[in-house]
Amino acid sequence: MKITWFGHSCFRIDTGASGILIDPFLTGNAIFETSGIPMDQVTEGVTHVALTHGHEDHLGNTVAIAKETGAPVIAVHELASYLQAQGVEKVDPGNTGGTIPHEDFDLTFVPALHSSSNMVDGRPVYLGNPCGIVVAARNGKTAYHMGDTDIFSDMALISELYRPQVGFVPIGDRYTMGAMTAALACKRFFNFETVVPCHYGTFPVIDQTADKFVAEMGGNRVLVPEVGVPFEG
């Protein structure tokens, strides 16, 4: 499993036959935009787009990427219906607890403690429950993208059911867990081989670096990736 971070909560997972782009917030993502990485480098070979929820800093460039690549968008039912109304032809809807099989991976939606909406004509539109995403490569590891969330005790069940080896963990505070809580979630509920922090450094009101999280974790198993540089999961 090859993983690439593009800032904020945007990750690409390559499983061999598939290229899965999660939460492709690129335009307006300061980390991505200052990296100088061309958009086509992110989207080349993408076979699926997956979304944790409908906030703009996760939905991002989904519509344009789906139209350009023809990749289906995997999302909870209400969000998938909303995207169809925006002109996305291929959607692959599911909901919490459901597993969606694909050629060489299975994707499962799991709970997250957050909200999910987007603005239409100046008013927020409900877009279903926010979720985390578990991607289980058939010939590789299992990664758990927590989405935007607080800590919750049922993370223990997610760990028991899916046994993810790689965790993408929001740490920026204010809208998600902060460093201390995120570290507690990782240490109490999971046995990750690799912990990858995300959802920081993009906006002034959230933590600008992963330093506090790394300190809370004691450095153990934390990989702070370079934007656009692939690493093995």
Per-residue confidence (pLDDT) for residue 64, from 0 to 100: 98
What confidence category does residue 20 fall into, taking pLDDT thresholds of 50, 70 and 90?
A: very high
Work out the mean pLDDT of the chain and round it to a whole number.
97
User: In this structure, are residues 187 and 217 in contact, taking their beta carbons and an 8 Å threshold?
Assistant: yes
What confidence category does residue 30 fall into, taking pLDDT thresholds of 50, 70 and 90?
A: very high
Per-residue confidence (pLDDT) for residue 48, from 0 to 100: 98
Per-residue confidence (pLDDT) for residue 219, from 0 to 100: 75
Per-residue confidence (pLDDT) for residue 8, from 0 to 100: 98
Segment 82-108 shows an average pLDDT of: 97
User: In this structure, are residues 169 and 185 in contact, taking their beta carbons and an 8 Å threshold?
Assistant: yes
What are the pLDDT digits (tens) for 171-214?
999 999 999 999 999 999 999 999 999 999 999 999 999 999 99
Per-residue confidence (pLDDT) for residue 233, from 0 to 100: 86
For residue 153, how many C-alpha atoms fall within 13 Å in the half-sphere facing its CB?
0
Residues contacting residue 214 through CB under 8 Å, at least 6 positions apart: 197, 222, 224
- Sketch out the chain's domains with CATH numbers: 2-224 (3.60.15.10)
Segment 39-60 shows an average pLDDT of: 98
Per-residue confidence (pLDDT) for residue 220, from 0 to 100: 79
Distance CA 34, CA 30 (A): 6
Round to the nearest angstrom and report the end-to-end CA distance of the chain: 5
- Rg for the chain, CA atoms, rounded: 16
Per-residue confidence (pLDDT) for residue 193, from 0 to 100: 98
Segment 208-233 shows an average pLDDT of: 95
Per-residue confidence (pLDDT) for residue 21, from 0 to 100: 98
